[in-house]
Amino acid sequence: MTDTLPQDPPGKYDDEIDRLFSAGGPLAPSVGDYSPRTSQTQMAKAIAHAISEQQTLIAEAGTGTGKTFAYLVPALLWGGKTIVSTGTKNLQDQLFLRDIPTVRAALKAPVSVALLKGRSNYVCHYHLERTLNNGRMTSRDDVGHLREIQRFIKMTNSGDKAELAKVPENATIWNLVTSTRDSCMGQECQYYQDCFVMKARREAQQADVVVVNHHLFFADVALKDTGVAELLPSANTIIFDEAHQLPDTATLFFGQTVSTSQVLELCRDVLAEGLAHARGGPDWAKVVTVVEKAARDLRLTFPQDSVRMSLAQIPQSSDFFPALEKLKEELDGMIATLEANAERAETIEQCRTRAVELAAGLAGWKPDGKGKMVEGDEAVLWVEAFASSLQLHKTPLSIAPIFSNQREGTPRSWIFASATLAVKNDFKHFTSQMGLENERARTWPSPFNYEEQGLLYVPTGLPDANSFGYTDAVLDCALPVIEAAGGRTFLLCTTIRAVKHAAERLRTEFEQRGLNFPLFVQGERGRTELLDSFRNAGNGVLIGSQSFWEGVDVRGDALSLVIIDKLPFAPPDDPVLAARIDVMEKKGMNGFMHHQLPEAIINLKQGAGRLIRDEKDRGVLMICDGRIITKPYGRRIWQSLPPFKRTREQADVIAFFRDKSV
């Protein structure tokens, strides 16, 4: 229940927390320009109390308040075995490389800390070896990257690809040399002793504090493959930072996905293993060919790429349904053959298990035309077509029952922290999605004076946000402002395409105008490296999409202008969103007002929150999307933002930057 009492009940750690967070306390010397923040101290007390009583607490405090220390201090001192889960991999790195070492050293806390990411983040010795032996590199880049990776694994302790800044995170080579669940041989692997994935898990098992991310946490519930499940039983404290993301992430993973490429991969392995261990048995080529054909035919029932469609949207007459039945049938045939040969080799038995799992995933797909599961739970079935594969997803619309189930059992403390959980002091939107209705929830006010520290600027004269050439219009308008700010800018875009376009254009413009603001572009280098260089540059311009909107912390002068290109509404063609809205509208609610708008407001508040991170920070938030003024719902958006002073005049912005040395 929402607690409106101004004062929390006294907790046994209150005095200690007052001391730790005081101006003369141990944190102060480790944090430059430290000054006690009441909201932070109170939040820390409430968290310490929840930890010591093994309770659940939903804790909200504005962006930049210092929530990280507010949960790390009690967790490191009294949390016992603690799992900290955060929204993205770069926030994991920020915690593991920067914040936890700071707090641990300041408190002299004798705790061991481990970082655990998903498999695909680690170089796999076996895949690397195989790729080196096959030697069929498609591009010069690949060859160069591969050489870097070979050098890297001799130096690294973790094998985490984020550590190798020289190879961009989206380089194609990573797919060939990182670990995957389906082809990992586990204990049978000759590299098992040196394996980075196994090492990360062993370390997590032994550590006092383990840093994970929400994807990994929830993926484990579905796959039991991330190493989190082994950690859970002994965990005393579980902290979710950026907890507002949980409903979406959890939904993704409490669902199931089957793809035609999984079927094709399986076929490839069946053929290889069959020929290796059961030659002379069945005609393996024939066994797999029919399944492969059925999988390819199923993909071809959607003529275009990148289609997302719910089951209900697929016409009953579509070839999809007969093609799906055909695939099920052929897969069953292959399962029978595998079963008959399972005793010949462990690897054939593994293939059989995979085939059975795939068949089970397909079984729920029946054309009842309503998008409802056979079991009758509220899930949406939807397909997504890529260039060469088709994915079939089953996504639950409510995760509350599943998550409540997860929290039952061993008593422990669950902390949900975020800047954006409540809407006008009401946590219901969040708690009902997560099944946390009866838990304690608290909000602490922001320590900043937005009216004096910040300016919200919505330029005039920009075209419609969906019109052609919009990004260029945004850049035209942004350039003089960036110049007035002396760089020191985050340009946050809603799409990757806009990031790329803005990067190209700004690079040219800076050159032509003789502006030497270093440009940092998401995807071109590792995120931690991008942020570190941005902080150090002092006049940088960083262009990023979603993963830079949240949690990212650049305190002080290095960041003084945040530009947001468009209001961050989720794409309306998203089938899960469409199904959610459908359910809401059946209950008489307005999907836009009750779901899309609040979600967009949360995103926007997060993006805006990168700006002011300290009592002394000053800066301009520039929102280019005119809908914030022209649309009836616009008022609700800007009223939800911190109380910045507002303007529509570029001259005010230029004056703001000139007036005081920021």
Q: Does 184 bind ligand SF4 (CB under 6 A)?
A: yes
Distance CA 83, CA 34 (A): 27
List 444's β-bridge partners, or say none: 61
Question: Which listed range, 184-192, 241-249, 270-278, 408-416, lies at the site for ligand SF4 (CB under 6 A)?
Answer: 184-192
Q: Does 607 bind Mg ion (CB under 5 A)?
A: no
Using the minimum distance from each CB to ligand SF4, give the nearer residue, 111 or 204: 204
Of 115, 119, 35, residue with least CA distance to 69: 35
Q: For the chain, how are helix, strand and coil distributed in percent, rounded to 5?
A: 50, 15, 35
Residue number of the CB closest to ligand ATP reads 66
Contacting residue, 64, 74, 118, 247, with ligand ATP by CB under 6 A: 64
Of 539, 616, 661, 528, residue with least CA distance to 32: 616
Contact 56, 414 (CB under 8 A): yes
- Per-residue contact track with ligand ATP, 591 to 610, x per CB under 6 A? ------------------x-
Of 363, 70, 380, 386, residue with least CA distance to 259: 386
Contact 298, 323 (CB under 8 A): yes
**Least distance CB 212 / ligand SF4 (angstroms):** 18
Contact 545, 492 (CB under 8 A): yes
Q: How many residues bind ligand SF4 (CB under 6 A)?
A: 13
Amino acid at 61: A
Q: What distances in angstroms separate CA 141 from CA 120, 172, 177, 434, 604, one per listed residue?
A: 20, 9, 14, 44, 37
Distance CA 500, CA 247 (A): 29
List 393's β-bridge partners, or say none: 257, 382
Distance CA 618, CA 453 (A): 5
Q: Does 223 bind ligand SF4 (CB under 6 A)?
A: no
Measure the CA angle with vertex 605, ends 585 and 496; round to 5°. Answer: 85
Using the minimum distance from each CB to ligand ATP, give the nearer residue, 99 or 292: 99
| CB crowding 410-446: b at 16 or more within 10 Å, else e | eebbbbbbbbbbbeeeebebbbebbbbeebbbbbbeb
Residues in region 150-179 near ligand SF4 by CB under 6 A: 179
Helix axes 346-363, 260-277, angle to 10 degrees: 160
Contacting residue, 97, 153, 165, 185, with ligand SF4 by CB under 6 A: 185
Sheet-wide strand order for 307-310: 256-259, 390-396, 379-385, 307-310
Using the minimum distance from each CB to Mg ion, give the nearer residue, 146 or 417: 417
Residues in region 515-554 near ligand ATP by CB under 6 A: 551, 553
Contacting residue, 67, 125, 354, 488, with ligand SF4 by CB under 6 A: 125
Contacting residue, 48, 58, 75, 124, with ligand SF4 by CB under 6 A: 124
**Least distance CB 21 / ligand ATP (angstroms):** 7
Contacting residue, 42, 68, 85, 443, with ligand ATP by CB under 6 A: 68
Q: Does 419 bind ligand ATP (CB under 6 A)?
A: yes
Q: Does 201 bind ligand SF4 (CB under 6 A)?
A: no
Q: Does 619 bind ligand ATP (CB under 6 A)?
A: no
Contact 489, 482 (CB under 8 A): yes
Question: Which listed range, 64-72, 180-188, 405-413, 621-629, lies at the site for ligand ATP (CB under 6 A)?
Answer: 64-72
Contact 259, 326 (CB under 8 A): no
Work out what residue 176 binds among Mg ion, ligand ATP, ligand SF4, none; the CB cut-off runs from 5 to 8 Å by kind.
none
Distance CA 549, CA 567 (A): 12
Using the minimum distance from each CB to ligand ATP, give the nearer residue, 65 or 398: 65
Work out what residue 31 binds among Mg ion, ligand ATP, ligand SF4, none; the CB cut-off runs from 5 to 8 Å by kind.
ligand ATP
Distance CA 616, CA 542 (A): 22
Question: Which listed range, 57-65, 376-384, 569-577, 618-626, lies at the site for ligand ATP (CB under 6 A)?
Answer: 57-65
**Least distance CB 602 / ligand SF4 (angstroms):** 36
Q: What distances in angstroms separate CA 495 from CA 95, 434, 504, 508, 519, one per listed residue?
A: 26, 28, 15, 21, 18
Q: Does 37 bind ligand ATP (CB under 6 A)?
A: yes
- Per-residue contact track with Mg ion, 488 to 507, x per CB under 5 A? --------------------
Q: Does 551 bind Mg ion (CB under 5 A)?
A: yes
Using the minimum distance from each CB to ligand ATP, give the nearer residue, 246 or 419: 419
Q: Does 234 bind ligand ATP (CB under 6 A)?
A: no
DSSP-derived 3-state class of residue 42: helix
**Least distance CB 139 / ligand SF4 (angstroms):** 24
Name the region of 461 (left: φ>0; alpha: ψ -120 to 50; beta: rest). Answer: left
Q: Does 191 bind ligand SF4 (CB under 6 A)?
A: yes
Q: Does 192 bind ligand SF4 (CB under 6 A)?
A: yes
Residues in region 298-327 near ligand ATP by CB under 6 A: none
Work out what residue 342 binds among ligand SF4, ligand ATP, Mg ion, none; the CB cut-off runs from 5 to 8 Å by kind.
none
Q: Does 350 bind ligand ATP (CB under 6 A)?
A: no
Q: Does 200 bind ligand SF4 (CB under 6 A)?
A: no
Contacting residue, 31, 185, 272, 558, with ligand ATP by CB under 6 A: 31
Give the interface with Mg ion as residue ranges (CB under 5 A): 551
Residues near ligand SF4 (CB under 6 A) are 124-126, 179, 184-186, 189, 191-192, 195, 197-198
Residues that bind ligand ATP (CB under 6 A): 31, 33-37, 40, 61, 63-69, 419, 551, 553, 555, 609, 613-614
